[in-house]
Amino acid sequence: MKILTLNFLTCARKACKPQATSFPLHPADSTLEIQESDLNIIFLQNILPRLDWPALISITTELGLPGLQAEPPEAEDLVVKEGGAKAEGEGMEVTEKSEESEKEASQLGKDLHRLLIETTIQEGKLMCACCGHEYAIKEGIANFLLPSHLV
Amino acid sequence: MHDSSEHKQERGEAYEEEHVHTVYEEIASHFSSTRYKPWPIVERFLKDRPNGSIGLDIGCGNGKYLTVNPNVYIIASDRSTNLVQIAAKHRPHSAVVADILDLPHGNHKFDFAISIAVIHHLSTSERRIQAISVILDTLRRPTSAGAQGSKALIYVWALEQKGSRRGWDEGDEQDVMVPWVLKGAKGSGDADKTFQRYYHLYKKGELEEDIQKAGGIVLESGYEKDNWWAIAGPRRIEAR
Ligand SMILES: [Zn+2]
């Protein structure tokens, strides 16, 4: 279960969904694991507007992960600024960058990739603050099947 | 009328538990090994999604569609834990265990959804329409300001498939049990085991009709190799 996914999950109960407290779900007793993967910076920039940033802040806080900035970053914050802080004296000709493919991730870009895509909850549970129901996460997979009395 | 809809609902659930969910749980790994080639319409739909789109694959099975476009993010779900475990291996996506009628997703949040070969496993007309309506609810709605709504691609098995191995055609019974033979391991002496899965075979025009009953709009539809498919969207929010 990636942290990014938590940004798109609510309680499965119909009665909870309209309630603001059914999102985000609250992780508890979590065992985290880093699963390394290639950084796709364009993808990261593109999903940025789709994130619920306050929800992300509360999830990372509850998981005890490093704090996020209060305001959502802009797409350009995720890449190293053109021309700016480039190290000199590498002895290489700076060639024209083909715009899209060679954008270099900034520290923030790398941090967000690590947080959203690489950090996973392997074991634990997700609690709905609206009804108190807890959904188990086992071997990285969250189970949202409801016991019959809650359907 | 004497049979309350709640009772009907419970019966539908129990029936599907026995004739759909349990079967897939048992045959998961064999089923998965036979499902690897994406259907062209589904492939095209997924490849057309803009980079960075967030979508759902509802009833993802082994997750064979998760590999089509690495530049979108898909949260896949299925009722079968064993199938989800296989689907969860596809990066960068995510997979959870969930029931189509009780999805753990907020309404009107997603850029697209696919539900491939799933709706035909629901055993009453009400439940099939309800499932389509749940799918449509996950989509962003078009607004009067001109913003485009999201789209869902839905795929179901067709009654009209004269040329297939099963040979069903127009006029045949639409609610059928389809056997799945799990071969005993070679040399183990284990006998073959046959599982029966429930299907509702859709006839021409029926999927479109169900989408309309679910409150959706059919944007495109057609027939592809023994299946009916439709691309559907939610209705526009009425300006008040
Ligand atoms: Zn709840």
Q: Which of A75-89, B125-139, B147-161, B181-195 has the lowest mean pLDDT?
A: A75-89
Query: Residues B211, B132: contact at Cβ < 8 Å?
Result: yes
Task: Read off the pLDDT of residues B51-66 as tens digits, 9 standing for 90 and up.
Answer: 999 999 999 999 999 9
A133 in a domain, yes or no? yes
Expressed in angstroms and rounded, the spacing between residue B202 Cα and the centre of ligand 1 is 35
Helix, strand, coil: what percent of chain A each, to 5? 30, 20, 50
Expressed in angstroms and rounded, the spacing between residue A125 Cα and the centre of ligand 1 is 13
What is the C-alpha separation between A136 and B81, in angstroms, rounded?
12
CATH number of the domain to which A54 belongs: 2.20.25.10
B61 in a domain, yes or no? yes
Task: Read off the pLDDT of residues A27-72 as tens digits, 9 standing for 90 and up.
Answer: 999 999 999 999 999 999 999 999 999 999 999 999 999 889 999 9
Distance from the Cα of residue A21 to its chain's centroid: 19
A11 close contact with B: CB closer than 8 A? yes
> What's the whole-number mean pLDDT along residues B103-129?
96
Task: Read off the pLDDT of residues B217-234 as tens digits, 9 standing for 90 and up.
Answer: 999 999 998 999 999 999
A40 in a domain, yes or no? yes
Task: Read off the pLDDT of residues A83-93 as tens digits, 9 standing for 90 and up.
Answer: 654 444 444 44
Pairing state between β B73-78 and B54-58: parallel
Domain count, chain A: 1
B180 in a domain, yes or no? yes
> What's the whole-number mean pLDDT along residues B177-206?
86
Expressed in angstroms and rounded, the spacing between residue A130 Cα and the centre of ligand 1 is 5
Q: What is the pLDDT of residue B159?
A: 96
Q: State the pLDDT confidence band at B6, using cuts at 50, 70 and 90.
A: low
A60 in a domain, yes or no? yes
A13 close contact with B: CB closer than 8 A? yes
Q: What is the pLDDT of residue A88?
A: 47
Q: Which of A82-86, A125-129, A136-140, B109-113 has the lowest mean pLDDT?
A: A82-86
With 0.80 as the threshold, say if the pTM is over it: yes
The nearest alpha carbon in chain A to B97 belongs to A143
Q: Does residue B5 have a pLDDT over 90?
A: no
What is the C-alpha separation between B113 and B109, in angstroms, rounded?
11
High-pLDDT (> 90) share of chain B, %: 62
What is the C-alpha separation between A37 and A117, in angstroms, rounded?
8
Q: What is the pLDDT of residue B182?
A: 80
Domain count, chain B: 1
B46 in a domain, yes or no? yes
A61 close contact with B: CB closer than 8 A? no
A4/B94 CB distance under 8 A: yes
B170 in a domain, yes or no? yes
A45 in a domain, yes or no? yes
When CB atoms are compared, the residue of B84, B97, B105 closest to A10 is B105
CATH number of the domain to which B106 belongs: 3.40.50.150
- Domain region containing B96: 5-234
Give the residue among A17, A96, A107 at the shortest CA–CA distance from B137.
A17
Beta bridge pairs of residue B217: B233
Task: Please classify residue B212 by burial: count the beta carbons closer than 10 Å to its beta carbon, then call 0-12 exposed, 13-18 middle and 19+ buried.
Answer: middle
Q: Does residue B108 have a pLDDT over 70?
A: yes
CA distance B171 to chain A (A): 36
Q: What is the pLDDT of residue B224?
A: 92
B240 in a domain, yes or no? no
B164 in a domain, yes or no? yes
- Domain region containing A51: 3-74+102-150
